[in-house]
Amino acid sequence: MKIFGISAPYTGSGKTTVTLALLSRLKNSTSVKIGPDYIDKSLHSTVSGINPYNLDRWLQGPGYKNIFLSSIANFDYAVIEGVMGLYDSGSPMKLNSIYYFRRMNIPYILVVDVYKVAESGYYIAKSFITGLCIGVIINNYAGERHLEMVSKPFLDHGIKILGAIPRRKEFELPERHLGLSTDAPEGNIRKIAMKVSEFLNLDFLEDLPEIKPEPADLFAPDQTSGKYNIYIAKDSAFNFYYEDSIETLRRIGEVHYFSPLKNEVPEDADFIYLGGGYPELFSGELSRNFKTLDYIRNFSESGKIIVGECGGLMYMESAIETPNGRNKLLGIFEGLVKENGKLTISYTQMKVIKDTPLFKRNDIVRGHEFHYSSIVDYGEKSMLMEIGRGIDGMDGLISVNSFGSYSHFSLSRYSKRLLNSLKNSI
């Protein structure tokens, strides 16, 4: 197989658009998103038809490389989309794109947005052109004369230009909150990807080395079971999941999906996983779907395990307050969620002060928080924030065996704990 990365000097340069364009042209290809982002990789899936993995050693721990290699092993091409700018991560440890590219010897393409520059584009980009850079893609040029001015310094310095994308309104991907949106019709995303791909030259693929990933087994024999019925909420309100978390659950049991928005209920469930998403956008519908609400409440009261992350935690609280009013939800916890316009985004680190189905007292847990909401909840919490905001410096609400966190996690780090908790809860 062949593997390469996509990066840029700064965020908003067009990395995702280029990644989608390449995926639309490459047969039997997959993608990987560096960092904790859910939205970009959902757009990748729209074009490739494959559920991509994330690459994030903060969340995944020492097993990140094996997770990565396992995710790409059965494909002919893997496109690795970087996070923010090449050297950016905004984190307490090296989590930027160049770290992963260098660590695993991944060649990369630099996307250069030239909307406000001409010849200066090269001088901005040259600090981001390392020995692993195989060339640049010029994005957002205004016309042929502009493209000539932008291109000349790159060519004069021997930098290959692998494509040039003109500035067109029709190439813009929709945005929501911070970053791109999952709300656009899938047909529109695929159409944009195909149109942009016409401006790319794929000859560089011939010079890429063939590699054969040889991942180690991610799961020890005592971490697998297969006998548990696992139900995952999956619809427009709940769709933020890490693929390595889903694979972890597949090893533990049989994975099924249900939609709270469609008032669906699991059948003979042993474990319910409520992931992140946008429940605040659908709180009215969710509050009226009594069949689902009653089932999950009874499931929680019975002592079976529920894990809710961010949007899942919001759904587990008593109500969500939006500009359109207050809607009652599960009430497993007694807090109130308030939608607001203030972004909370951070890697998180927590010290566990009370045992939960996933974590044990004194564990140090790493996660990621991303939301435009706040929670007022004075209930018992199991984790003390060391990095990040959480809920007033705490996180990890507990009710019987129901656990809710404002942070997202990679379950691949905690599969053995979860399996043991399932054994004890049934």
Q: What is the pLDDT of residues 217-228, one digit of tens each?
A: 665 545 555 689
Q: What range defines the domain where residue 176 resides? A: 2-207
> What's the gap between Cα 307 and its chain centre?
18
Residue 216 resides in a domain: no
What does the pLDDT read at residue 214? 77
Closest CA to 415 of 48, 33, 60: 60
Q: Give the single-character DSSP code of 173.
A: P
Which segments within 116-222 are labelled E, that is strand? 133-141, 161-166
Residue 213 resides in a domain: no
User: Are 373 and 273 found together in one domain?
Assistant: yes
Residue 215 resides in a domain: no
**pLDDT tops 90 at residue 185:** no
User: Are 106 and 243 found together in one domain?
Assistant: no
What does the pLDDT read at residue 89? 87
Which CATH number goes with the domain that contains 86? 3.40.50.300
User: Are 263 and 393 found together in one domain?
Assistant: yes
Determine which one of 310, 319, 337, 394 is catalytic. Answer: 310
pTM for this model (two decimals): 0.93
Locate all alpha helices (DSSP H) within 157-235, ordered by sequence: 186-197
Annotated active-site residue 310? The verdict is: yes
User: Are 119 and 241 found together in one domain?
Assistant: no
Per-residue pLDDT tens over the stretch 233-247? 999 999 999 999 999
Per-residue pLDDT tens over the stretch 262-308? 999 999 999 999 999 999 999 999 999 999 999 999 999 999 999 99
User: Are 183 and 242 found together in one domain?
Assistant: no
Closest CA to 5 of 137, 159, 124, 157: 137
Contact at 8 Å (CB) between 383 and 353? yes
Rounded to an integer, what distance in angstroms lies between the CA atom of residue 4 and that of residue 81?
Answer: 9
- What three-state secondary structure class fits 335? coil
Which residue(s) pair with 230 in the sheet? 255, 271
Residue 150 resides in a domain: yes
**pLDDT tops 70 at residue 190:** yes
**pLDDT tops 80 at residue 320:** yes
Rounded to an integer, what distance in angstroms lies between the CA atom of residue 184 and that of residue 186?
Answer: 6
Rounded to an integer, what distance in angstroms lies between the CA atom of residue 28 and that of residue 50?
Answer: 10
Mean pLDDT rounded to a whole number for the chain:
93
